[in-house]
Structures are given as C-alpha cells and as structure tokens.
Amino acid sequence: MSGTRIEVAGATVYVGTGSGKPASDAACVAFVHGAGMDHTVWALPTRHFARKGLRVLAPDLPGHGRSNGTARSSIPAMADWLAGVFDATGVDQAAVVGHSMGSLVAWQFAQSHPDRCRTLALLGTSMPMPVTDMLLNAAKDNHHAAIDMANAWSHSPGGSLGANDNPGVWMLGAGERLLERSGPGVFHADLAACNAFNADEADGVVNCPALVIAGDEDRMTPARAGLDVASHLAGAKVVRLAGCGHAMLNERPNEILDALIDIVTER
C-alpha cells in the first residue's frame, strides 16, 4: 500500500509512506506539506527514503487531502498535531522536513518537541511568513483567484514556462489542480496561520542539525528570508537553488532530493 490511515485527535488521518515496508527499528523521516497542499507533493522523496529503508510519514494535515478533521488555525497547533501523528504511529523521533507552511510547522515542532526532532530541513521558508491581504481575502472567499495567485507566485519566471525534469508534467497545471482539491476554508486557514505566525513567541531553542533550501527566484518566501532563518539555526547548512521558485519540489525535484539525503539520514 502507498499509505496508511490512523486516528489522531479523534479524526482519521491519511499518512503517505512512500510504499515503504520499513523494519520495526527503522529511522523515521516526516514530511509536512504547505498551505492547501497534501502529501502528494512529496511523492518522489518519500519513495526514495522508503526504498532506503527509512520509515516515512507524510501525513495530510487535518482537513487536507485524504485526512478528515478541521484545518488547524495556528502553526503551533499544527506542530502539536504532528506530535500526535508521531504518537499514533509509535514514532519517538524523526528527521522533520517541511515546505513553505510546512517549514514553519517543522520549525515549531523542533522548538516545542525538541527530543522528537532528530534533524530539521526547511524548504522555501521565511519567518515571519506574511501573506498579502489580496491573497488572504480571495482565499477567505474561496475564490479561484487565490489559487491563481499562489500558483503563479510559487513558480519562478522560468518555471512558469515549464521545462521541469519530470517528463510530460505541466507544473502550473499540476499545482492548480492540487490546490483546487483543497476543501472550502482550508487554504485560507493555512494562509492565515502563516500570516499570524510569530517565531518570537516560541521559547525553545533548535539545537538539532538543520538545513535550509532556498530558491533564488522564490517570490513567496524570498531567498534572503530563508538565509535569515538559517542564520538563527546554529550550524545550519544552506542550499541555494539558482533560478528556482517557491514550488521547488516541482521545479527541481532531483536537486531537492540530493540536498535532503544527508540531513535526513544523519544520525
């Protein structure tokens, strides 16, 4: 099977596993998707790490993808929910990888559950992560313009014309369809949570090994913001992708996986 279903906080949650069949003592890697998305954005890396024998958890956040429940309204609430996924699957600790909103969740998780975060990888990140009123208002009305804005701004100017490494896949179309699957109110809840996130309210310290991946042409979370996040993580490694936008898992799938391998498998 490609994934599994578990119960977390009274709701059924879908967790992508990359079709893995890990050993009971396998190290774990958890992936947290971005606003309005689901676990399918991690299709390639989840399959890689599953083949490598890691236990893979790529949950659909509440109300997203195949998971039931209500979308959480804050990043800390999402991080606590992620801890619930760990509890429900019997996972003590994992490498935690997050993209965009998921990067905030991963960072918050590392703050509030430091013993459970072995390593941390933040893709397309920014703290704070402000969202324009134009996008928030459109998402609040469940208007397609919100999808159009997010999808267009998530791709680099070059990426908006395609030519990715995944044969025959039109990135803009794929991104649009995925966001269209998001239920009413879910995208807005995510964006509002990003907009309201305040890293200064976290009182912990992230001490685990960390990686930040930044796209030089990221219009949603500019590379300089990602570098600033990295500067506050002791010893964090940085991978900059020239010409890459925010939708880096689509634009540069192989380079993303290459960058993740060390941090995810580090013990």
Partner 1 sequence: MADPEHRGPRPTGFDTLTLHAGQRPDAATGARATPIYQSASFVFPDTDFAVGLFNIERAGHVYSRLSNPTNAVLEERISALEGGVGAIATASGQAAMHLAVATLASAGDHIVASRSLYGGTHNLLEYTLPRFGIETTFVDPRSPDAFAAAIRDNTKLLFGEILGNPGLEVLDIPRVAEVAHAAGLPLMVDATFATPWLCKPLDFGTDIVVHSATKFLSGHGIVIGGLLVDGGTFDWEASGRFPTLTEPYDGFHDLVFAEEFGPQAFITRARKEGMRDFGACMAPTTAFHILQGLETLPLRMAKHVENTRQVVAFLDAHDAVASVSYPELAKHPDHELAGKLLPNGAGAVFSFELQGGREAGRVFIESLSLFSHLANVGDAKSLVIHPASTTHHRMDAKALAAAGIGEGLVRLSIGLEDPRDLIDDLGRALRRASRA
Total residues found in the chain within this entry = 267
Work out whether 170 is an interface residue with partner 1 (CB under 8 A). yes
Report how far Cα 36 is from the mean position of its chain's Cα atoms.
11
Please, what is the minimum distance in Å from the beta carbon of residue 248 to partner 1?
Answer: 13
Work out whether 141 is an interface residue with partner 1 (CB under 8 A). yes
**Binding residue for partner 1, selected from 7, 92, 165, 262, defined by CB under 8 A:** 165
Stretch that binds partner 1, among 25-33, 94-102, 119-127, 167-175 (CB under 8 A): 167-175
Work out whether 45 is an interface residue with partner 1 (CB under 8 A). yes
**Binding residue for partner 1, selected from 83, 112, 114, 148, defined by CB under 8 A:** 148
Output 254-263 pairs: Cβ under 8 A, ≥24 positions apart: 254/165, 256/45, 256/123, 256/213, 257/44, 257/45, 257/48, 259/121, 259/211, 259/213, 260/45, 260/97, 260/121, 260/211, 261/48, 262/211, 263/95, 263/119, 263/120, 263/121, 263/209, 263/210, 263/211, 263/237
What region, left, alpha or beta, does residue 265 occupy, with left being phi > 0 and alpha being psi -120 to 50 degrees? Answer: alpha
- Burial code (b: 16+ CB inside 10 Å, e: under 16) for 216-247 equals ebbebbbbebbeebbeebeebebbebeebbbb
Please, what is the minimum distance in Å from the beta carbon of residue 149 to partner 1?
Answer: 5
Please, what is the minimum distance in Å from the beta carbon of residue 161 to partner 1?
Answer: 5
**Binding residue for partner 1, selected from 12, 19, 73, 198, defined by CB under 8 A:** 19
Q: Which of residues 57-86 bind partner 1 (CB under 8 A)?
A: 65-66
Grouping H, G, I as helix, E, B as strand and the rest as coil, residue 97 is strand
Stretch that binds partner 1, among 79-87, 107-115, 174-182, 205-213 (CB under 8 A): 174-182
Nearest to 62 by CA among 110, 8, 99, 117: 8
Work out whether 195 is an interface residue with partner 1 (CB under 8 A). no
Work out whether 154 is an interface residue with partner 1 (CB under 8 A). no
**Binding residue for partner 1, selected from 67, 74, 103, 164, defined by CB under 8 A:** 164
Grouping H, G, I as helix, E, B as strand and the rest as coil, residue 186 is helix
Work out whether 12 is an interface residue with partner 1 (CB under 8 A). no
Positive or negative, the CA dihedral 222, 61, 82, 46 is negative
- Give backbone dihedrals phi and psi of 17, rounded to 5 degrees, phi first: -120, 0
Among residues 10 and 167, whose Cβ is nearest to partner 1?
Answer: 167
Among residues 101 and 110, whose Cβ is nearest to partner 1?
Answer: 101
Stretch that binds partner 1, among 45-53, 79-87, 103-111, 226-234 (CB under 8 A): 45-53
Work out whether 242 is an interface residue with partner 1 (CB under 8 A). no
Interacting residues toward partner 1 by CB under 8 A: 1-3, 16, 18-19, 38, 40, 43-48, 51, 65-66, 134, 137-138, 140-141, 143-149, 152-153, 158, 160-170, 172-174, 177-178, 181, 253-254, 257
